[in-house]
Structure 1
Amino acid sequence: MKFKMAHTNFNVLDLEKSIAFYEKALGLKELRRKEAEDGSFILVFMGDGTTEHQIELTWLRDRKEPYDLSDNEIHLAFVVDDFEAAYQHHKEMGCICYENKKMGIYFIEDPDGYWIEIIPEKR
């Protein structure tokens, strides 16, 4: 038996705002979309064009209050080939929420409060 990672789900309040964030911050593109016939939910799968792993953004029509992310200890991590350029881009976007210069990493925060770790490519 063999398992393979497929996707990570983030529930979002404003789907279009979240799609725009992931496109601008990380260069992800919408790969596919599933909409419930009754309009109760929309799933948008986004990918980086390099790996098979995707982010599934889930929008629920009846959800009005922000999601409780507790201590937000769960996060995604992205490796970037030009760490300094990515850092400047995210700094200009105003989405850097935590830096650990000693470890050489930082985190960005999406519109719903999810943290995403940015890691330099190993050289």
Structure 2
Amino acid sequence: MTEAPAPQTEGFTLNHSMMRIKEPARSLAFYTGVLGMRVLRRLDFEALGFSLYFLNTPAGTETPPEEAGERTAWTFSQRGLLELTHNWGSEDDPDLQYHDGNTDPQGFGHICIAVPDLDAAVQWFDDNGVEFVKRPEQGRLPDVAFIRDPDGYWIEIVEPARLKQLGDAL
């Protein structure tokens, strides 16, 4: 199904995916407090009027460098980060709503978070008032949940051990 990658692409790494956010405090509280991510780096671009927040799920004990330039280089060498982009002033626009990509016209769909225990995660989300798009027991795709973040983006929630037969039943 896949060919061997071209040797010229050796070392290429998916560093991050970006989503725009309206209110940083609200979004950061969700991603850090509810999903357990950590902010690795915040970059402010005053002349351009936006801020970037790079987050990941903690793995191991690696600590980002303290020095700003080294921390930035380190951040851009990581794998699978989430970049939240805040365009300054968007929080003051009551009509602004970002498109989640799941309504027409469709485009971007979702990000995915793997959890060790789906049932415990669902209970945690319920305890924290998280909105579900789909619960694991709903629909034709069992053991897969979808929640919404504060800006309406979908987040797939899976327990990898429950997905061994994924695709076989369809």
Q: TM-score of the superposition, structure 1-length normalised?
A: 0.89
Contact 1:9 1:55 in 2 (8 A): yes
Which of 81, 88, 98 in structure 2 is aligned with 1:67? 98
1:97 corresponds to which residue? 133
1:107 corresponds to which residue? 146
Gap regions ≥5 residues in structure 1: none
Between stretches 43-52 and 18-27, larger displacement belongs to 43-52
Q: Which has the higher strand share?
A: 1
1:11 corresponds to which residue? 20
Query: SS in structure 2 opposite 1:107?
Result: strand
- Equivalences for residues 1-123 of structure 1 within 5 A: 1-2=9-10, 3-38=12-47, 40-50=49-59, 52-63=79-90, 64=93, 65-71=96-102, 74-95=109-130, 96-101=132-137, 102-122=141-161
Distance 1:17 1:62 in 2: 15
Of structures 1 and 2, the larger Rg is shown by: 2
Contact 2:18 2:83 in 1 (8 A): yes
Contact 1:10 1:58 in 2 (8 A): yes
Q: Which has the higher helix share?
A: 2
Kindly report structure 1 stretches of 4+ aligned residues shifted beyond 3 Å. none
User: Aligned pair count?
Assistant: 123
RMSD: 1.9
Code of the aligned partner of 2:161: K
Code of the aligned partner of 1:21: F
Code of the aligned partner of 2:27: S
Deviations 1:15-70 (A, max 9, x none): 11100000122100100010013360000001102283111000001433111224
Query: SS in structure 2 opposite 1:11?
Result: strand
Code of the aligned partner of 1:110: D
1:100 Cα deviation after fit: 4.0
